[in-house]
Amino acid sequence: MAEPASDEPRFTLGRSLLYSAILIALVFGMVEGALRIYVYNFRAPAERFDLSTGTFELRPGTYSRPNSDPIVVNSRGFVGPEFQDPPPTGTLRIVNVGDSCTFGGGGLRDTYPARLSELLAGGSDGRRFQVINAAIDGLNSELALRRLRSRVVPLAPDLVTIYIGWNDLMKFDPDGQVENPRLALAARWLDRLWTVKALRKLLFYNLRPRLAPPRTGPESRTGRNADYRPAVFERNLREIIATARSIPAEVVVMTLPSVVSDDMSLEDLKRANVQFPYFRGANAVGDFVDLIAAYNRTVRRVALEEGVVLIDLARAIDGRPDRRELFLDAMHANPAGLELIADEIARELRASGVLDRLRERA
């Protein structure tokens, strides 16, 4: 005798997989949303994400930190002291665009723009300069371009300096940054997800150093980055230059100096606080050196092709015998390094004729 048909719904394998996928997508969306709320509003007390401009902004105020000078953000949302807008007659305005390497400690003294202001003020020709630090921790080239458009262009600077690239280099997998990658859209879409960013940091910043020491010596160079060209970074850099020129302003770009070198041992890396990029296949000294070189080749080529002044900080610093005494980690300069960077910028601004051209415009 046949059993009566049941009124309960029957779940096929396909339907079960569909519901599971929907549930996973909902959970992932909730996690992504929560992370964005945290990052945009609470990750750093001095920062917030402005949805209207699509980039981070600084909140005016003074933010104390243990064992460090406080972060000082003026009423206009820039690191450093208050400034007059427009500047006094005869005063030339210089704006420094960058990431944490330019943001420095975020105080009144512990940044290279602060030191640069002192150096330029000491000129013997009577010229006056107003140096504004427009950097924010964590900016990549795309976010820096948006900050330039939203906050720097209205300042109508006479000179814009550009020191950017470390967050592109450290956090974006090269597979998604080349000109025609096979999985470009997927890779670049993943790069924008804060859930993916958080997982990468957990895996490659927190766990990988404990589980797998970086490779050193000749075998640490696989050649994977030997001919790499970071096309997304290059495109953003060209847009940054074009935007600054439209102000119009003189433009200076800078290469990325680093403490990392081929001859570093595991002990050297530990002593120098070197952290490797946040993606797979990036745990080798030789490959890291090649990756940095690839970005610097791009900066040099773009400067040449766009006809802007290049300040080659990498070339000036990388060969110094005291190189390892100038950095806090792989890319952030300590006070001695910041002073050296400011000295190099001031020297090159004079030697290249940029300051003379600015004087003619004043």
Cα–Cα distance between 128 and 283 in angstroms, integer? 47
**Residues 236-250: what's their mean pLDDT?**
97
- The answer to whether 294 and 229 have CB atoms below 8 angstroms apart is yes
Q: Where are the domains of the chain?
A: 79-361
pLDDT above 70 (res 312): yes
- pLDDT tens track for 132-143: 999 999 999 999
pLDDT of residue 181: 58
* Percent over 70 (pLDDT), the chain: 93
Q: Which fold has domain 79-361?
A: Rossmann fold (3.40.50)
> Helix, strand or coil for residue 33?
helix
Residue 150 backbone phi and psi in degrees, to 5: -85, -35
Nearest CA to 164 out of 111, 113, 98 is that of 98
* Top-confidence range, 114-128, 194-208, 261-275: 261-275
pLDDT for 156 equals: 96
Please give the full DSSP string across 159-220, using - where no structure is assigned.
Answer: EEEEE--HHHHHHS-GGGTSSS-TTHHHHHHHHT-HHHHHHHIIIIIIIHHHHSPPB-SGGG
Q: Which residues touch 150 (CB under 8 Å, ≥6 apart)? A: 50, 53, 55
User: How far from 23 is each of 28, 147, 204, 298, CA to CA, in Å?
Assistant: 9, 37, 28, 43
What is residue 122's three-state secondary structure?
A: coil
Backbone angles phi, psi at 107, to 5 degrees: -105, -165
**Quick check: 3 pLDDT over 60?**
no
pLDDT of residue 350: 93
Per-residue model confidence as pLDDT tens digits over 253-266: 999 999 999 999 99
Band the pLDDT of 126: cuts 50, 70, 90. Answer: low
The pLDDT tens digits for 251-309 are 999 999 999 999 999 999 999 999 999 988 899 999 999 999 999 999 999 999 999 99
Q: How confident is the model at residue 87 (pLDDT cuts 50, 70, 90)?
A: very high
pTM of this prediction? 0.91
Complete DSSP assignment for 313-328: HHHHHHT-TTGGGSBS
